[in-house]
Amino acid sequence: MCGIAGYSLSSRSSVDRTLAAQALLAGIAERGADAVGYAHRGPGSPYPVVTKQRTPASQLLERIEIPASASEVLVHVRDYTKGHPSIAANNHPVRHGPVVGIHNGIIVNDDELLAEFHCARAEPRMTVDSEAIFALAAHSRNEPAALEALLGSMATAWLDEREPGTVFAARGIGRPLWIGSGRHELFFASTRTALEVVEEYGHVKLKKRELEDGTFLAVSAAKVVRNERFRPDPGFEEPGKPLPSVRAPGEGVSCLARLAALAAA
């Protein structure tokens, strides 16, 4: 069980970009401690700047730095299932060609899907299942129907270097995804609680709702510009016992305490 979060902000938003990313990270920190990472992008370049490390969120929180001009951010904490976190390429954000993304869930037919693409597994010993999502996004040019080939559970978001200014997000089955809309902001996260943390520390009021299964969004400058449906496989059942959503409770407590101190400084 991982945690994902991020935002799309318009140029009119007064939200502190760094503090908002820190708030999102603190809000999802309890969902995984095997690795942590984030990506950001602004109007000056189509290329996301990616930072990730094999630590819990608490060891990255105070080092997050987002430019004031940034308009798109992805945040991730990892509780790994496939693709050992000792291999940096397995940790999120994950890259496939022009697409950089984050994922919460399990994809079980990733090897089969990736076998079609010569550019897959570009980094040595890369085996993370999430790459299949971003391969389908890249090679379909972000068509929602392409995600129907996935077998597994999924809440995901990504940036595509060919479409600067746009954040894509999708919910399949088996994993939650919430969005919160403000006047000049759109945030998303694995939990409603993470959005409430952003409200408190970002000084913004959000209208919050949970996305339905099979929802695909494209967001630009805090506005949903595409809202489409796809059909995830409803018959998928995860092997073993269901994973608990809280995987690192100490990380959540620690990060929220540090966030409060950062905001007060």
pTM for the full predicted model = 0.97
Confidence (pLDDT) at 244: 81
What string of pLDDT tens digits covers the 265 residues of the chain? Answer: 899 999 999 999 999 999 999 999 999 999 999 999 999 999 989 999 999 999 999 999 999 999 999 999 999 999 999 999 999 999 999 999 999 999 999 999 999 999 999 999 998 899 999 999 999 999 999 999 999 999 999 999 999 999 999 999 999 999 999 999 999 999 999 999 999 999 999 999 999 999 999 999 999 999 999 999 999 998 888 877 777 888 999 999 999 999 999 999 8
pLDDT tens readout for residues 137-180? 999 999 999 999 999 999 999 999 999 999 999 999 999 999 99
Domains of the chain by start residue, with CATH: 3-264 (3.60.20.10)
Please provide the DSSP assignment of the chain as one string. Answer: --EEEEEEE-TT----HHHHHHHHHHHHGGG--SEEEEEEE-TT-SSPEEEEESS-GGGTGGG----TT--EEEEEEE--SSS-TTSGGGSSSEEETTEEEEEES-BSSHHHHHTT-TTSS-STT---TTHHHHHHHHHHTS-GGGGGG--B--EEEEEETTSTTEEEEEE-SSS--EEEE-SSEEEEESSHHHHHHHHHHHT---EEEEPPTTEEEEEETTEEEEEEE----TT---SSSPPPS-S-HHHHHHHHHHHHHHHH-
